[in-house]
Each structure stands twice: as structure tokens, then as C-alpha cells.
Amino acid sequence: MKFSGGDLLMRALREEGVKYIFGYPGGAALHIYDALFKQKHIEHILVRHEQGATHAADGYARSTGKAGVVLVTSGPGATNAITGLATAFMDSVPLVVISGQVQSHLIGTDSFQETDMIGISRPIVKHSYIINKAEDIPKVVQEAFYIATTGRPGPVVIDIPKDMTDPNLKFEYKKPKSINIRSYKPKIDPHPGQIKKAARALLSSERPVIYAGGGVVLGNASKELIALNKLVKVPVTNTLMGLGSYPPKDKLFLGMLGMHGTYEANMAMHNADLILAIGARFDDRITNTPALFAPNAKVVHIDVDPASISKIINADIPIVGQVKESVLALIKEIKKSKIKIDSEALDQWMSQIYEWKRLHGLNHDLWKHVRKNQKILPQVVVQELYHATNGDAWITSDVGQHQMFVAQYYKFNKPRRWVNSGGLGTMGFGLPAAMGVKLAFPKDEVVCVTGEGSIQMCIQELSTCLQYGLPIKIVNINNEALGMVKQWQDMIYNKRHSASTYQNSLPDFVRLAEAYGHIGFKVTKQEDLSKVFKKAFSLKNRLVFIDVYVDPSEHVYPMLVAPNGSMKDMWVAKDKKA
Amino acid sequence: MKRTLAVLIENKPGALARIVGLFHQRGYNIDSLNVAPVFDESYSRMTVTTQGNENVVEQITKQINKLIDVIKVSDLTEGSHHEVEYVLLKISTKQFNQTFKRKLKYFEHHIIEQDNSIVVLGVMGNSASIDDFLKSLNKKSLIELSRSGCIGMHKSEKHLTI
Ligand SMILES: Cc1ncc(C[n+]2csc(CCOP(=O)(O)OP(=O)(O)O)c2C)c(N)n1
Ligand SMILES: [Mg+2]
């Protein structure tokens, strides 16, 4: 049997286990859309903007660990997908983005809707392909999924000129039985000698910290991390991307570290004598000034990407390997080792950490205290949400103060449940990402915690949610400002609020939600919060938009002092440095 | 410090652009670049010269290695190696005088074309001495100049092959 290029593509996608394609049609993609129409294995989700398609596929990918698939047309369709590609690239999310392209013979002639997609996406993809023989489609698709999902995952673009999917040209479906890319061998076993050294260093330390990042989530190594710490019982902190990989209720858990990390986590990092970094990349939002980073710490760094090691902070013991395999190897080595970790020193270290926590730790009980006749605290919104969902919802977020409040107060107890744009910090991510998560886990509660600024960047997707019946819950932490920007202006620019407020131009979000066919609630009083959440979550089959007006003067603390600060230099409250 | 990297890369459209783009994207400079397919033409060998301390070059090497089309990278400067560059020079016959010829004799060279008005020469040597040679010439005497960029190889028993 012979197939057109479009049919080859559909079959190849199906063989990769693809269930959903998030996309938007247009001229150069129409042959593909026709092939899509004629099959019934893959469902297409028509978004309202290609940025939404990429974030939705991204949410699907982050929550399932499988590659998310996007289909867009050439030119503006392709350029609209760029923000989503960059978002996925920065957070190592596996995506396969298929873009239509003008016909091969028109490439380079400035033809209608022609953009050099390979060129503009080059710095923000793991790899990209342009199809120049239709019969290559199955092989390219197979490779694209392999590259996107293995090693350090990332997005892959396949650009398909329109003539490659001409329905009149038919080909045999052929692809190699196994994948063999001589220039790409992602499976790396950790070096046993390095593992030995790491075990020795960890067991001989007196003030150790495990600093676990998004790599633990991406590498499905949460169980192994927990098992490792059952053995050594040392304090653990998570990056923004690593939250959920370690149980928040464990006494050894210090919460998030970094820019808005907990006081005790940042202090522990600064004062540590050993830092075991697992699947983390010493981002500048973590280290603060690299030259002042953890002056007395030996650094052990496990990462699948050798380029992440010693990029910012020199690793004393680098370990290149898959996170899961490396942690397992470390566990084995520790069990074999004769060195006993100094439990007395550890106890002392922990009491020091608890002391820091007692001094400036986060208050998770704010919600218990009702502030009458005052605006709601944004932190309380997250705490109430945590209780309304038993801490068990999938939470997506946008970017800003609300995002940090979720990271600080929603105690994620499972990996992958926290879906946010950490690396690129893309406003507009939350709603479409929630659609992807909801499609992947239709029975679970999926909540998008957003801000009135961010939500307006992809608000059009409310229409997509109606079309496909996606009953997600949106919690809009409405501080009537670009809060995070305003916070910086308060702190650094002497309260000059340049372009960070809207002067009474905000839409009525309740009526807006209703106009899109959904339900909207407005909350202005703390005592109404739990009732409204209860009501919203009881509306199982409806999208509910909960617009919560909060205290606009609230800031996110702690906050690392920059520039020229170290991890121990923090603002812990307005006008209070610790 | 000057560094010379050798890269084996799939001979595919766009592969070169990925390398060049990477240097720009990560804020590194390319001083010279030479690339051509070798052996079965399925892959190319590339020599890139750049500047940087050990850490910078280690980062560059790792980032290049991460590109899917890159088969192997090696920092030639790390050990002993050979380096050579080829230059095409066009000068007026009048300038092709004794002084010029005296400077030339330190290099392997040959005359490719010569008539009453023009001489085209091919000159070979390592990049640093070629730099010196070119600097020593009177700028006005040079009509055209084309440099291959440095190409390099590990010495003796160390090999960079696929
Ligand atoms: C697309 C994009 N543009 C600009 C920014 C810069 N930025 C970071 S946070 C922020 C304010 C976000 O406002 P809002 O969504 O209301 O969240 P809040 O901080 O008020 O909770 C802005 C503008 C960004 N992260 N993304
Ligand atoms: Mg806001």
C-alpha cells in the first residue's frame, strides 16, 4: 500500500503513541489537515492562537512525560509558535512541533507566508528537520520523538514544505526498525569512580544539602531521591522546577531555594560544606552572585547534560549520567561504604536549620487567621486552594508574584503536578498548559493559578476550553497590577510604578468568563474564599473562573538581595534585611 | 588564549549554521573557520579557532558536542598538534621584488599565475607566522588576499576519527 506524505505523517505519529495534536490550520498545512481529517486515531485540538498550542502541548508533555505535538502553518503560524518553543526549550520539555512550509521550489523567494522556520527556531530547539523527500517522513518523525524525549529532553521542529504532502504523490511507508543516530548517543552511565568519590564526600560531610532540580522530575527519579535520603537523612531543597520531587512534609525538607526560596534553604546552601546537586543547573535565580556562592561547599553535580556541569559553579565531583541511574548507583555505593555519616554533626546542622526556619520561615497558617475588612492576602488564596484541593491538584501557573506564592505555599507532594514556566518565565503559559494537563488527566482536578496580567496574554483559549469541554478551574490572583514588576519598582526604583498598573481598565473577569460560556465568581473577602472554592470544585463539568481581589501592596519574600549579594543576603520582609 | 577546535559534523544542510549560530548565541567569537567534507562525504571536518580560557573552551566544546549533528569535538590546543593555513595572494608584478621574495622564502609557496602585470602566489604556513608575514608587507602592494583559515590535526598517535 502507498500513502501520501500527509498519510505517512499521520501513521508515523500514531506509531509514536500520539493521542492529541494541538494546532491551527493554514495554507501550507492544509494537505496535512486533510490527512488528519481522514483518520480517527489522533484527535486535533483547535486552539485560538498558536502560542496556546505550544503551551498546551507543553502542559501535556510536562504532566505525562511524553512528547507533546503541535501542528502549525507556515509564516505567522510558525512565528506564533516561537514563544512556546523557547519556553519548552528552557525547561527541557519534549515537544515535536510540525510546521507547514511553502512549496520547496518557492523556498527563498519571499513567497506568501514564507518564513525560515528552521532559521528562526535554531537557537531554541534541541534539533530540527526540514523534509526534502516525502518518503523520509516516517524516519524523521521517529528520530524527532527519540531526540525530543531522551537525554536532556527538548523541543524538535519538523518543517514540511507543502509539496511533500501532496495527496497525489504516494510512497511506501518505510522506517528503520531501530534508531541509530551516530552523532547522538544519549544513554550515559555514571562513572563508577565518580560515584565512589561522591559517596565518600557525602558521607564525610557535616553540613550537607541535597539541591534537587527539575531533572529529578524529568528523569522520573523522585522515588530514587527519596530512597537515597532514607539512607543519609540530610536536608533537601528543591528548585522551582524540582518541587514535588521530595515529600514536603518530611522534616528534612527545606522548601524551595533561590530568589524567592525559604530563608532556611538559602542559608543552608550558603553555609553547607557539601552540596549534592541533582538535575539542577545553578541558574542565576538560585546562585545569586556566583563568586559569592556557598564559599565552603564542595560541589557534587549529577546531570545528564555535561554542558550544565561547571557552567556557572565549578563542580568538584562532576557526574554525567541519567539522574535515576546515577542516584541508584550512589545508593548502592553508600550501602557498600564503611564510612558512617556523622549523625551528631548532622543533628547539629539540622538544629541550626530549624533555628533559621524559626526566625524567618514561611507561615503556612496565615489562612487560619481571618483579616476582617481588609483585602485578602495572596498567600492565603494559595493556602485555601491547597486545603480545598487536599494538596492533590495539578497546578499550572503564569509568571509573577502569584507563581512564587504557589511555589512557596502549595506543598506539592507528587512530581509533575506543578507545571510552570521557570526558565523563560512566559506570561500566558498557565491557561493553555492547563488544557494540556486536563486532556491528559481528565478525571483529576486541574487548576490554573494566574494573575490578571498574565491571564490576558492567552485568554482566548477560554473558547478552546468550551469547544472541548475542559472543566479546569482558574484562580486569578487579582492585585490589579503587574505585581512582580511593581514589587521591583517599589524596592529598587523608589516606588515609581512605570507601566505596571492599568488605571481602571481591567475587564470584568466574571462577565468575560460568562461571555465565553463559562462560570465566573468574584471574591473580595477572605471569609468567602473557602465557600467559593468549594462551590467551584463541586461544578465538576464546568470551567470556573475565580477572580480573587487581593491586597495589591503585598510583596513576595524572602527575596535575595541583588546585585552583588550571596545566598545568605535576603530581604525577609519590607524594609527588613536578614 | 587562542584555541583550535576540530569538529566532525554530519554533512547535512543547516549543520554548519548550527555551529556558527551556537558561537554567536553563547557569546563566543570565531576567529577563523574552515570546513569541508572528508572521506565518504557523509560528514565534514571543521577547524574553528577561537579565544578563551580553559573554562570557556570547555563550555564551548560541551555546547558544540550537544548539537545533534556533531559527531565529535576535540580541542587540539590541549595537546601537541599540527596547524597550517594556506593563503592566496595577488600582487602586482612590480611588487614581486627581491625584498618580497626574501620574506617569502621562509614559507612553502608557489607561483600560480604570473604575467607582466599580476602575480598570484600560494603560501603555506602556520597562522601566526602568516599573520606576521602579512603584517610586514606594504598594504598597498597587496591587491587581493584570501586565507583558508587554520586547519589542524593531533600529532602522531592521537587521532580524531569516527
Ligand atoms: C511575556 C512576558 N512579558 C513580560 C514579562 C515580565 N513580567 C514578569 S512578572 C510580570 C507581571 C505579571 O503580572 P500578573 O500576571 O498580574 O502577576 P502578579 O505578579 O501580579 O502576580 C511581568 C510583566 C514576562 N515574564 N513575560
Ligand atoms: Mg497582577
Interatomic CA distance for residues A186 and A180, integer angstroms: 11
Ligand 2 centroid–CA A192 distance in Å is 49
pLDDT attached to residue A350:
98
- Number of Cβ within 10 Å of residue A555's Cβ equals 19
Domain co-membership, B114 together with B63 = no
- Nearest residue, CB atoms, A306 vs list B10, B22, B62: B62
Residues A389 and A476 in one domain: yes
With vertex at residue A526, the alpha carbon angle to CA A525 and CA A528, rounded to the nearest 5 degrees, is 70
B5-28: buried (b, 16+ CB within 10 Å) or exposed (e) per residue? Answer: bbbbbbbeeebbebbeebbeeeeb
- Give tens-digit pLDDT for A234-254: 999 999 999 999 999 999 999
Nearest to B21 among A123, A147, A182 (CB): A123
- CATH number of the domain at B25, please: 3.30.70.260
Checking if the pLDDT of A292 tops 90, the result is yes
Instruction: With beta carbons less than 8 A apart as the criterion, state whether A63 and A437 touch.
Output: yes
Which candidate, A139, A196, A136, places its Cα nearest to that of A171?
Answer: A136
Q: What is the pLDDT of residues A59-115, one digit of tens each?
A: 999 999 999 999 999 999 999 999 999 999 999 999 999 999 999 999 999 999 999
Q: How many residues does chain A have?
A: 578
pLDDT (tens, 9 = 90+) of chain B, 162 residues, equals 899 999 999 999 999 999 999 999 999 999 999 999 999 999 999 999 999 998 999 999 999 999 999 999 999 998 899 999 999 999 999 999 999 999 999 999 999 999 999 999 999 999 999 999 999 998 888 999 999 999 999 998 899 998
* pLDDT of amino acid A187: 82
Ligand 1 mutation pick, A485, A491, A553, max ligand atoms within 8 A of CB? A485
Burial class (CB in 10 A: 0-12, 13-18, 19+), A193: exposed
Taking CA A438 as the corner, what is the angle to CA A435 and CA A442, rounded to the nearest 5 degrees? Answer: 150
CA distance B6 to B19: 12
- What CATH number should be reported for the domain holding residue B135? 3.30.70.1150
Sequential DSSP letters for A537-567: HH-TTS-EEEEEEB-TT----SEE--SS--T
Find the domain containing B118 and state its range.
82-152
How do beta strands A544-549 and B43-51 pair?
A: unpaired
Phi, psi (rounded to 5 degrees) for A38: -85, -5
Ligand 1 in contact with A479 (CB < 6 A)?
A: yes
Q: Which residues of A touch B (CB under 8 A)?
A: 118-119, 122-123, 126-128, 130, 147, 181-184, 305-307, 310-311, 314
- Residues B66, B44: one domain? yes
Report pLDDT for B157. Answer: 86
Q: Are A340 and A421 contained in the same domain?
A: no
Interface contact A182-B66, CB threshold 8 A: no
ipTM: 0.94
Q: What is the mean pLDDT of residues A342-369?
A: 98
Give the pLDDT band (50/70/90) at residue A188. confident
Residue A465 has pLDDT above 90, yes or no: yes
Sequential DSSP letters for A413-427: -STT-EE---SS--T
Q: What confidence tens digit (pLDDT) does each residue in A114-162 have?
A: 999 999 999 999 999 999 999 999 999 999 999 999 999 999 999 999 9
Q: How many domains does chain A have?
A: 3
Same domain, B73 and B97: no
Contacts of A306 in chain B (CB under 8 A): 62, 65-66
Residue A307 is nearest to which of B55, B63, B71, comparing CB atoms?
B63
> How far does the centroid of ligand 2 lie from the alpha carbon of residue A482, in Å?
4
The CA distance from A263 to A285, in Å, is: 15
Residue A186 forms part of a structural domain: no
Looking at every residue in chain A, the average pLDDT score rounds to: 98
| DSSP, res A458 | S
Give the domain range for residue A218. 192-360
Strand, helix or coil at A11?
helix
Q: How far is the CA of A327 from the centre of ligand 1 (A)?
A: 36
Whether the pLDDT of residue A422 is over 90: the answer is yes
Instruction: Render pLDDT for A426-449 as a digit per residue (tens, 0 to 9).
Output: 999 999 999 999 999 999 999 999
Subunit contact A127:B68, Cβ cutoff 8 A: yes
CATH number of the domain to which A52 belongs: 3.40.50.970
Q: Let me know: does A548 contact A476? Beta carbons within 8 Å.
A: yes
Looking at B37, B63, B78, the residue that finishes a domain is B78
B56 and B117 belong to one structural domain: no
Domain match, B88 and B108 both: yes
**Rounded average pLDDT over A193-220:** 98
- The answer as to whether B6 is a domain residue is yes
Domain boundary among B51, B78, B105: B78
pLDDT at A54 over 90: yes
Pair (A258, A399) in one structural domain = no
Phi, psi of B4 (to 5 degrees): -120, 120
Tell me the catalytic residues of A.
50, 112-113, 162, 484
Question: What is the pLDDT at residue B31?
Answer: 95
B72 with B109, same domain? no
Which DSSP symbol is given to A106?
Answer: G
Length of chain B: 162
Q: What angle do CA A481, A484, A565 make, to 5 degrees?
A: 155
Burial of A327 (0-12, 13-18, 19+ CB in 10 A): buried
**Ligand in closest contact with the CA of A399:** 1
Q: How far apart are CA B150 and CA B85, in angstroms?
A: 5
- Beta pairing partners, A449: A397, A475
Determine how β-strand A394-397 pairs with β-strand A418-419: parallel
Number of domains composing chain B: 2
Give A491's pLDDT tier (boundaries 50, 70, 90): very high
User: Is A153 part of any domain?
Assistant: yes
B71:A130 CB<8 A: no
Say whether A530 sits in a helix, a strand or coil: helix
